[in-house]
A and B are shown apart, each in its own frame.
Chain A
Amino acid sequence: MTFPYKGYAGYYLDIDLEKGKVHKKEMEKEWARLYMGGTGVAARILWERTGPETDPLSPDNVVLVGTGPLTGVMFSPSGRMMFASKSPLTGVWAESHAGGFFGPEIKYAGFDFIIFNGRSPKPVYLLLQDGRAELKDAAHLWGRETDVTTDMIREENRDPSMETAVIGPAGENQVPYGCVIVDYYRAAGRTGLGAVLGSKNVKGIAASGALPLEAHDMDKYLEANEEEMAKLHDPLWTESIASLRKYGTTDLVAMINEIGRLPTKNHWTGFFDEADDIGPEIIANKYRVGQEACHGCAIGCKYIYRVKEGKFRGGPAGGPEYETLMAFGSNCLNSDVESIFYLGQRCDLLGMDTISCGKTIGFAMELWEKGIIDESDTGGIDLSWGNVESMSELVELIARKEGVGALLAKGTRKAAEEIGGEAWKYAVHVKGLEASGQDPRAHQSVGLTYATNVRGADHLRSLSSLEELNYPEVIINRFGEEKAEAIGQIMSPKYKGEVIKDIEDLYAVVDSAVICKYGTMWPPVFYFDTFANVIPPLTGMKEWADMNYVRDVGARISHLRRAYNHRLGITREDETLPRRLLKEPMPTGPAKGGLPDLDYMLDEYYELRGSDKETGYPKKSRLEKLDLGFVADDLEKRKMLARQ
């Protein structure tokens, strides 16, 4: 092997599904040096292999499975991996990440990346074992739910420790928000990557391996890792980490309701009277039976629940995260937490994104309330707020695309288009992706995050917790004393363009490493300097020791993903917010009256990105400075560059 950088497995798989051929290739040096791994490398590959003409559910689309240099080495938290493609739900950039043990296992099995091209003539799954890869028949797995699929794969390979990423019936049926389930109950939930795998007849991937990963200089790496762990153990974060260990993300239900940002009644408001019923204490005291951590993670936010009796009896299984509690709970005016455990688990087994699914059901409930749809549209199903029987029925119908489920499986944007009339007013999405559990009317910078996020209305590309949870020391360190006061005010739009650009670039690196948002977003411990500290001794790429080099990598990835979307037709017009979040002042709760000043923040953001304020297009000189000359050339031909 001539691939020189350590920390990587050194190989990737380029798979021709049409011919059933698996090509093992050596990793490209340039990918590691300029894009690190994960989302960065995915952007580089998807830019080349997909574009405006690619139909997301056709054989022309490509699915990437990615890890990073920190995946599977000692770094907390290092258990993550990612998928990327062109989304069947939104038609633009798609990526989604998952924790657990699958990411590290891909690398111990000998690979950093997998690229699925084309479409298999019959159902298959990809088996990775100690440097070998083969496509295996999956006819007997097709139609199975995700837990059974994993059990069967482990059994037929006689390996109980084999880790998997699989799709369920929803992905097979190409529900545009069908997802990928990793290790039973961890989801690469968003943007419909399960549907793309389903369209390719790929049921999943299984990995098992005992190939060692090396460090360029192990002693120095362990020293650097120790320094980073010391930051995590700073008394400043003790409380946050204790909360994550005890409650996991369920604590956010209480914390976020307190600031009036908990999406309630299809995002009508940000305050839920009955939040305590779906909140952290009742879950921790009554249902939580265990704690789990992803690979090598010192935070350990995953909890295991069990409902012992009643109609929603279930578990032990991974409990629903904040987003699921919001989507099937407050968002649908549902305060029956046992029903949320059930709905969340059904989505995991069917392989469906809980956010898009819950949000689409909430949208339908509002249309029902407004009289825009009635029993003749729903096949007799009563869609009153909080009707858990109806919600349970809808989840099954959506996964099978049957009855009203066929309509709701399209997501809020397309369903609203089809229903027509005023329905669009209640579709809360950006670029076609249903909004996650935040609200810019209670937290200004969320507006900019949602609007600019390359995958749509979602927090994970650039959410800032700095002003949300008030970390003045971190704000001063990163942005200076002068701006600190304005940045610290959650409802001030001032300097939020700078904050969100900075965090978008940071998360681009985080998502390439590939590590978790816990430890980066909340608590905000790891920053660009973390990568400057650990990447050189791990990989041997010396230039990474310069924090400005790391920042440039973040900016390069951000620009490349943005350019990918521009090429698909995305401009400032699309980088906006749904009417409800932009124009209807928050009606109740602690954030009452709040509205985001999106234009103010967008102007600053484009200014700092060096982009045209009218279109959002980038400057040629900026792209060239970031080694993205090939992007500039392409966009120039399409007249998609900013005036210099």
Chain B
Amino acid sequence: MNRFIVVDTSLCTGCRNCELACSIRNTGTFNPRQSRIQVLKNEAKNLILPVVCLQCEEPLCEEACPSGAIRVNEAGVLTVKEEICIGCQNCVTACVYGGIEIDPVTKKAIKCDLCGGNPACVDACDYGAISVVERDEEGLQTRLVGVKGAARQMGVEMEDA
């Protein structure tokens, strides 16, 4: 778990091309609802909020999974083993950030696995809002800035990284 995706929400225009790219990579079809990165919107508040797995240091989803389907893989990335997942949604409830969701087609949990190293969403973002960073102090700070908007929306108080 040495790298993760961060989003600079100030650059995001909410175009959802990242969702398209993610769905193509993971399902071979165009279907944003099957994307592992999701852009939440509230037009009345001018809110555009891209949400993707933070690869937490202490993953609540992993802890909540009754079947052990959420594990750190060989590359050090937290992933869902689809064949083990029973679709109980405990992980979705556990994640305070919204970084894991149920695939509407397979009914199993899905989350970002960094595409094995080169995330499709990063290339697809024409506004340069998405990047992959190392888990060092700078990376953690960038991640913190990226999730502040979401935290504000949910009324969550955060400590500094």
Using CB atoms and an 8 Å cutoff, list the residues of chain A in contact with chain B: 72-74, 76, 79, 101, 104, 108, 147, 151, 160-161, 183-185, 209-215, 218, 222, 289-298, 300, 304, 306, 315-317
A sample of 12 more A-B contacts (CB under 8 A), given A185-B43, A296-B17, is A74-B20, A147-B44, A161-B41, A183-B43, A212-B30, A212-B31, A222-B24, A289-B46, A293-B13, A293-B14, A300-B126, A315-B46
Any A CB within 8 A of the CB of B21: yes
| Chain B proximity of A21: nearest CB distance (Å) | 28
> Are the C-beta atoms of B33 and A210 separated by less than 8 Å?
yes
Known interface pairs A210-B104, A213-B31, A218-B24. Does A304 touch B46 (Cβ–Cβ under 8 Å)?
Answer: yes
The secondary structure that dominates the A interface is loop
> Are the C-beta atoms of B105 and A212 separated by less than 8 Å?
yes
| Chain B proximity of A77: nearest CB distance (Å) | 9
> Are the C-beta atoms of A184 and B13 separated by less than 8 Å?
no
Considering the complex, give the chain A residue whose CB is closest to the CB of B16: A295
Q: Provide the residues of chain A in CB contact with B30, threshold 8 Å.
A: 72-74, 212-215
Considering the complex, give the chain A residue whose CB is closest to the CB of B41: A161
> Are the C-beta atoms of B29 and A214 separated by less than 8 Å?
yes
Docked Cα-Cα span, A293 to B48, in Å, equals 11
Using CB atoms and an 8 Å cutoff, list the residues of chain B in contact with chain A: 13-17, 20-21, 23-24, 27-34, 40-46, 48, 104-105, 124, 126-127
The secondary structure that dominates the B interface is mixed
> Are the C-beta atoms of B34 and A184 separated by less than 8 Å?
no
| Chain B proximity of A452: nearest CB distance (Å) | 34
Known interface pairs A147-B44, A151-B44, A316-B46. Does A297 touch B29 (Cβ–Cβ under 8 Å)?
Answer: no
Q: Provide the residues of chain A in CB contact with B33, threshold 8 Å.
A: 108, 209-210
Known interface pairs A108-B33, A213-B29. Does A300 touch B105 (Cβ–Cβ under 8 Å)?
Answer: no
Docked Cα-Cα span, A279 to B155, in Å, equals 39
Q: Provide the residues of chain A in CB contact with B32, threshold 8 Å.
A: 104, 108
| Chain A proximity of B24: nearest CB distance (Å) | 7
Q: Provide the residues of chain A in CB contact with B45, threshold 8 Å.
A: 316
Q: Provide the residues of chain B in CB contact with A73, threshold 8 Å.
A: 20, 30
30 contacts across the A-B interface (CB closer than 8 A): A73-B30, A74-B20, A79-B15, A104-B32, A108-B32, A147-B44, A161-B40, A184-B43, A184-B44, A185-B43, A210-B33, A212-B27, A212-B29, A213-B29, A214-B30, A215-B30, A218-B28, A222-B24, A290-B48, A295-B15, A296-B15, A296-B20, A297-B13, A297-B15, A298-B15, A298-B126, A300-B13, A300-B126, A306-B46, A316-B45
Considering the complex, give the chain A residue whose CB is closest to the CB of B18: A296
Q: Provide the residues of chain A in CB contact with B20, threshold 8 Å.
A: 73-74, 296
Q: Provide the residues of chain B in CB contact with A79, threshold 8 Å.
A: 15
> Are the C-beta atoms of A292 and B31 separated by less than 8 Å?
no
Q: Provide the residues of chain B in CB contact with A209, threshold 8 Å.
A: 33
